[in-house]
Structure 1
């Protein structure tokens, strides 16, 4: 299993990463390309990534990395993240659900939009977001405790601020 700091891929050309990738044909992103690396035994700190999405600009330069973990971050994983990245810039959890908007579409798909307020919290308070702002990128963990799932996004674009 290769142990690589995947955040180091930000700013690299997609041809220069040590994994085999397949380009996805996503028409809704005209100024970018999306690639998938799966079944590559990618190790990220203490966890294994089975599927990693990499988004590039039209020149193939990676500007975003996404991965899913089919579990909530454990204390062991969090401790490894602290050792690697230092104290998070922001950790927050759901405070109050403001409203829920559910829409039923003609094609049978249902979308649900939920607006919540957040409050600062600690790791043992079941955070919803853990964010590190680094010089060249931002690391965002989104934790869904109800689904026992954690999403990771490393991006050159700041998608959330503390």
Structure 2
């Protein structure tokens, strides 16, 4: 799978982003800030993982401020090694500690089936390693930042490229 250098789109007009990202994407929802691939059989690749959804945030002049790539699974070691090869060692790897459940509520349908569980938790973050199931991995570059957000419980992750 190919590698798109999303950081090169930051600060450019949205039309440049469309040229670089490709014509497989549509943006019929939320005007120009939310792009997705209409055909589920088409997959794009980034550092060895496939994705089919992007969120592109622009300013009032349609200049790209951030691009978020959404993955259907948690970033794995192969992805991590690949992105470290491209951007170097991360500046921060933040793991959760001292997680405490504050409250929990369960919503059931008329037949008693659970349809939603809401939990409110508090936690703190500390520096850690990739092996400790991080919540965030952050690379701070001269003009942009790369931030990976790993949601292990939901088995999804996203990586955001943004201007500093």
Question: TM-score band, normalised by the shorter chain?
Answer: 0.7 to 0.9
Give the CA RMSD over aligned residues. 2.5
Structure 1 unaligned spans of 5+: 27-32, 158-162
Pick the aligned partner of 2:127 from 120, 127, 147. 120
Considering fraction of residues, name the structure with more helix. 2
1:160 aligned partner = none
Residues 51 and 72 in structure 2, CA contact (< 8 A), matched pair in contact too = no
The within-5 A match list for 1:7-156 is 7-17=7-17, 18=19, 19-20=22-23, 21-22=26-27, 24-25=29-30, 34-38=33-37, 39=39, 41-98=43-100, 100=102, 113-156=120-163
Partner deviation per Cα, 1:111-158 (whole Å, 9 max, x = no partner) = 65533101111111111110011112111111111111112122125x
Residues 56 and 68 in structure 2, CA contact (< 8 A), matched pair in contact too = yes
Q: What number of residue pairs does the alignment pair up?
A: 147
Tell me whether 3-12 or 15-24 shows the greater mean CA deviation: 15-24
- Provide TM-score, normalisation by structure 2: 0.77
TM-superposed CA distance for 1:102, in Å, is: 6.2
1:29 aligned partner = none
Residues 55 and 65 in structure 1, CA contact (< 8 A), matched pair in contact too = yes
Q: List 4+ stretches of structure 1 deviating above 6 A.
A: none
Residues 2 and 41 in structure 1, CA contact (< 8 A), matched pair in contact too = no
Structure 2 unaligned spans of 5+: 107-115
Tell me which structure has the larger Cα radius of gyration.
2
Q: State how far apart, in whole Å, the 2-side matches of 1:79 and 1:11 are.
A: 27
Tell me whether 67-76 or 80-89 shows the greater mean CA deviation: 67-76
Partner deviation per Cα, 1:35-80 (whole Å, 9 max, x = no partner) = 3142564321211221011010011100011121111111111110
Residues 5 and 44 in structure 1, CA contact (< 8 A), matched pair in contact too = no
